[in-house]
Chains A and B, each alone.
Chain A
Amino acid sequence: MAQEGHLPIRRGLLGSPTSGDEATHPEAWRRQRIEAFTALDGDRLLATYRLATLILHDRDEAEDAAQEAISRAWAGWGTLRDVDRFDAWFDRILVNVCRNRMRHKRTLHVVAFDDALELPAADNHGATAARLALGPAFQRLSPDQRIIVVLRFWRDLSIEQIAERLAIPAGTAKSRLHYALQSLRKAIESSEEADR
């Protein structure tokens, strides 16, 4: 049981970056930030775009989300408390941007699976049918379920790692994955039944 007591509230503070304080060590603070963002170039940038694309299932949206995440991370560098955890911190910003875009999106979200889903030509018929069924099923998942499916099966993160990344209880992560998987399994099984 949590003990009764006052919240350890600090009024007017925005966190204590361990990556150096801009006011006291401005040069080190700026250097660390530039180094971290320069390292994003290349494979890391592609990984960022891939993660956003898989969550949003829309390449244009993913491009915008990745741009927004880079800008937000740059502006919010002061909230990073351990520069060694930059990758996880940046992933979290990206996932949050994607989630916000899905939840707050006020446009009709129309997704055609023409260029987003490219199936290998040598694939067998059953697997192709199953994967085709996954597209609509994935679209029916909630934003949080989509995120968790991608982190689990694309990033290969454990439940605990996902919970940490999303800052949610492990039980919540597990339940979201459980129900998301149930929906996707149904779609796969339905396609298999239809294929028989």
Chain B
Amino acid sequence: MSGERQDPEQVIRDWLADSAPDRAPASLRETLEDVTTRPAGNSREQLGARLPRLRLAGGIAAALAILAVVSSSVYIHATSNVAGPSAAESASLATPVGPTATASVGSEKQLVGDWHLVDTQMVDDQPGAFSQSMVTRVVGLSSGGFAAFVFDQAHDETVVYGSSDGTTWTSVGVLPTKHATVTSVTDKSGTVVAAGYAYDNAADTAVAIAWVSSDLRTWHASVLPASINVGVDMVAAGPGGFLAYGHDLTQQSPGNATPSLLFWTSADGTTWRTVAGTGYPNAWPYHLYTNADGYVAITNISGRIQSWTSVDGAAWIQSWTSPTDSASYYSIGGPDMTTPDGSRVMFGSATNFSTNSVKWTSRDLVRWTMSPAQITPIGTDIGQAASIPGGLVSASWCDYGQATAAFCLITSSDGRAWQQVPVTSTLARVADSGMSSWGIVSDGAHVVVVLHDNGDGIHFLVGTTLR
């Protein structure tokens, strides 16, 4: 039978069938019984989600042991740069406090207030369970205000909404490309550049595209050179223009090793050219930052965090490597955040669950110093955060003890010490609903937390900065 060509789809079906377990673990039935027999009015059911059983710390130790002993038979999936804590991970950091008991926390002057919930039924054209708004990207613009990219399924096009305050949104434009997938948005000096790819059903291929606008209303689409079956992963605005990188969609996915990245540059967002990316290693960037000198890509290579810098995106040099083995620290990167003292901050995670989030601080975005973040009294993690006047704000998943966790907001004036935003009725309602955060953005005057409910509805939690 050897050498016989097989139907790949049938092989996949067979493989999945073989991989499916025969029975469900008893714990699932226990969970089911637990929720259905819980007394009505029990406060625990009002919180977002119960935490699964704790076994991660042991799991990590076992995983690392496996990795060390039989490295040839295991596969390491590097994590993305978005480090929202899973409920289980938060559990090991538990500090038993109640969600309302923490309302008194924060005698320090608050950085954001007037939180209110905006229910965005953007393209909610069907009744029933699916009220998905298909918000693909929400960004705070450096010139003020926000932009949201929303896919309109009825017309197979991406509608751009604008808002000056995060609360009132107006549809202002449409990307001139069908089947568009927007993966990244940046802006500089009034020019907004969105990037991603568009899939051509007829040709069964995708091309990388950048869309540029100066007013969110009129958009110009540019197909990036040499981009058949290529998609843009990220676009950044640097001192000399814009830099985008992407990868061959038929090859590896972000998070895997040995990528073949492609780089493009543009002075205006409209005319793009391919650049070699000479010197750049086989490593996915956790994030692409920009500073006064050009671009900084943060990577994790062989267990060490590295900064690779480039003036123009065409040639790269290794500019910094973490001094100690940082294999325990990853999920680094994320949006560029600046504290009031001028420090740049990014957050990571540690495999050692006895510590909270890891904070990396830098003055130049190239050389970084690691220290634990002190998030008290909440046992939580920093993943998504945004810079605001006076500090940082993060949408997190707070551990309330008793195996219960829910959405919460925390702020910090220095990125090191954090406090929970007092729980108002609106914030309690968000936590009670079980919604979780997709991201948090700010334009300086307002903060928008993009929330995702269990029915896949999209909601915006909007606050006003107070400094």
Contact = CB atoms under 8 A, between A and B. Distances in A.
B162 to A, nearest CB: 10
B455 A80 contact: yes
Interface of A: 1-15, 18, 30, 34, 37-38, 40-41, 45-46, 48-50, 53-54, 57, 59-60, 63-64, 66-68, 70-76, 78-82, 85-86, 88-89, 92-93, 96, 100-113, 116-120, 124-127, 130-131, 134-136, 139-142, 145, 149-150, 153-154, 163-164, 167-172, 174-175, 178-179, 181-185, 188-189, 192, 195-196
Given A105-B79, A126-B1, A127-B6, A54 B52 contact: no
A104 B66 contact: no
Contact of B29 (A41, A188, A195): A41
Main secondary structure of the interface of A (DSSP, over half): helix
Contacts, number: 353
Contacts of A119: 18
Interface residues of B, number: 128
A26 B42 CA distance: 15
Contacts of B120: 7, 9
B21 A107 contact: no
Given A9-B118, A34-B36, A96-B456, A104 B28 contact: no
Nearest to B128: A82
Contacts of B429: 14
A45 B157 CA distance: 37
A15 B129 CA distance: 10
Interface string B415-459: 000000000001001001111100000000000000011111101
Q: Which of A9, A125, A184 has the most CB of B within 10 A?
A: A9
B50 interface: yes
Interface stretch (B68-76, B270-278, B286-294, B335-343): B68-76
Nearest to B161: A7
B366 to A, nearest CB: 24
Contacts of B35: 37, 70-71, 74
B63 interface: yes
A7 B171 contact: yes
Nearest to A187: B8
Contacts of B75: 110-111, 136, 139
A71 B131 contact: no
B47 A75 contact: yes
B127 interface: yes
A4 B28 contact: no
Contact of B14 (A41, A63, A81, A131): A131
A54 B85 CA distance: 22
A165 to B, nearest CB: 8
Contacts of A59: 21
B169 A106 contact: no
A108 B254 CA distance: 15
Interface string B118-130: 1111101001111
Nearest 9 CB-CB pairings of A with B: A76-B454, A167-B132, A106-B349, A79-B455, A175-B199, A142-B253, A124-B1, A109-B77, A110-B63
Contact of A48 (B16, B28, B77, B432): B28
